[in-house]
Structure 1
């Protein structure tokens, strides 16, 4: 095929544009009907699997959507309905509740496939547990995962390391857990002091961790876990809650995990917490510290509960902040 035959010339483009315009006019006038074959396709009824990939320097980072969790305003600590109503309106949030996506992130370092958090498996209802489909959409199988890094041991981050039958979901992976969080969830005194509704969190965390006892590493904060990936202390949401700095060479990413849960509220009102915070005052202090940092340095962030795919930047806005979702990457 010649170069001339593959090139879209100006005359051909204008001719095609005229044809499209004429067709649009016919449709508007009722003179052109859509064929029944194309109109009869059934509605899918389900969203497609959530997997969006972007480059971070020499790394590829893929956001994977496990699903979503709906919460009410009573689960937002410090919630003021007058303020919240205006924030919901500005963010085009319908109703009085809040929908939290559950995001995990797959790091391809060139040498390793590393999963940051593992979703929920079948432990938190039908709107969650979609990580396997997202991984399949990204072209990755559980057997390929070399390591699973856990930001903290809550159900929506850890319980997905097990299949519904209780066996390991990532049979070849090393499980890396923040040591301070591990000590907390394995503390019998903390278990006995917890409200009954939270006791399954402890038992499930122990079961998930124990399944990987033969291939498990505990780590501290400010530790390089593999080349280019360093843990960061984000204590408050849980005692050992951590984030991860990803250094891909000429570009970087800060995975801020659960520093923010409700994006429509907590950027503008960073002192508002979530009912799942172990230490709400410390969580709020950590959130302000993180948002101060990333709004000053302009670094790309990724959040476990930021609107999927969770990538974006943070800017100062009055006494608070605002979140700007990152542009879509059309190519590498």
Structure 2
């Protein structure tokens, strides 16, 4: 005798049975949105180096890129006037178009005895695009109160704003350092009066950012050549600002140069190092410094940490057929052992 259930199942057919007993399908998964936490870690000898992203922002390529148009190199005008189409053509070679998202990177150096932050991002000074450094610092396994010293390459908003977002001290135990030449310029009301309107907001952002540290006695400019943290040396790199500084980090024979604002738009300025910036205080000097730094970095093969090259901004400079190139770091999933 055939059971009633067997008769019913038999009449339904295999395809119908599969549909009845199949697990219910999930609704379409929502888009996750956003990026992964913005930190990247490498070892430099015995030092741990962590690149931190403060975010990206649309970089005004056609507004701020400049170039000298006279043989003496004293007249700097918008790049589009000197070489129409150059910026767009060079960007296209890297599959990029305007507007280009510009990275704002900072670098955390753990020497084993000191935790040092080089630059601090824009904080709230650039709006909602940025100010992600603190969250990424925490994601990287550190807390702001663990930072001992902050060394700034210069006092432009996208390097100093992160020390005091909204005017509030973000690093409760850190001392802020910058070259005395930069501090003397950007914190001087008389210089602000004489500066072009393009830079006015920089002066205001600087004063608001350093104010809580000045009041706490923890804003200490340094003179060129002074001893900094063991393994970290300041190198004058004037041109972009009056006291723009590079920092050479050295451990066990390995070197990393944190060069601040040597490069803003890598596809353009590696191909044409003569391209300068409207923000340069001395564009002729900035151009000269860039070419010298490119040449030395390519020759001596040390690491570079760049504030405005696509995150993580770590790599090398190479030279081929008379042209400079950026070689980004190869991703290393196990950066815990000195190499």
What's 1:184 paired with? 185
Aligned-partner SS, 2:290: helix
User: Is the Cα–Cα contact under 8 Å of residues 49 and 130 in structure 1 kept in the other structure?
Assistant: no
Q: Is the 8 A contact 2:119 2:160 kept in 1?
A: yes
Match of 2:176 in 1: 175
The equivalent of 1:62 in structure 2 is 50
- For residues 36 and 290 of structure 1, what CA distance do their matches in structure 2 show? 58
Task: Give the SS at the match of 1:74.
Answer: helix
Aligned-partner Cα distance in 2 for 1:139–1:325:
24
- State TM-score, norm by structure 2: 0.83
Report the 3-state secondary structure (helix = DSSP H, G, I; strand = E; otherwise coil) of the residue aligned with 1:172: coil
**2:30 matches 1:42:** yes
Task: Give the CA deviation at 1:97.
Answer: 3.1
SS in 2 for 1:143: helix
> Which consecutive unaligned segments of at least 5 residues does structure 2 have?
1-21, 68-78
Task: Give the 5 Å matches for 1:195-206.
Answer: 195-206=196-207
> Hey, what does 1:4 align to over in structure 2?
none
Tell me the distance in 1 between the aligned counterparts of 2:24 and 2:280. 55
Q: CA deviation at 1:36?
A: 3.8
Does the aligned pair in 1 maintain the 2:263–2:308 contact within 8 Å? Answer: yes
CA contact (8 A) 1:270 1:320 kept: no
Could you state the TM-score of these two structures normalised by the residue count of structure 1?
0.85
Aligned to 1:320: 323
Q: In the alignment, what sits opposite 2:261?
A: 258
Quote the offset at 1:87 in angstroms: 1.6
Going from structure 1 to structure 2, the CA distance change for 1:328 and 1:185 (only over 3 Å counts) comes to same
Q: Which residue of 1 aligns with 2:14?
A: none
Q: Does the 8 Å contact 2:262/2:290 carry over to 1? A: yes
TM-aligned CA deviation for residue 34 of structure 1: 12
The answer to whether residue 78 in structure 2 is matched with residue 75 in structure 1 is: no
Q: CA deviation at 1:325?
A: 0.3
Equivalent of residue 137 in structure 1, options 131, 136, 139: 139
Q: What is the SS of the residue equivalent to 1:218?
A: coil
| Secondary structure of 2:176's aligned partner | strand
Bigger Cα Rg:
2
Trace 1:241-252 onto structure 2 (pairs within 5 A).
Answer: 241-252=244-255
User: Which residue of 90, 105, 110 maps to 1:87?
Assistant: 90
Report if aligned partners of 1:115, 1:149 keep a CA contact under 8 Å in 2: yes
Distance 1:278 1:35 in 2: 65
State the partner residue of 1:148: 150
Show CA shifts across 1:166-222 (max 9, x none). 221101101111111001112232110123342221122122223212112211334
SS in 2 for 1:257: coil
Cα separation, 1, equivalents of 2:226 and 2:319: 29
What is the aligned counterpart of 1:100 among 94, 99, 102?
A: 102
Residue 17 of structure 1 is matched in structure 2 by: none
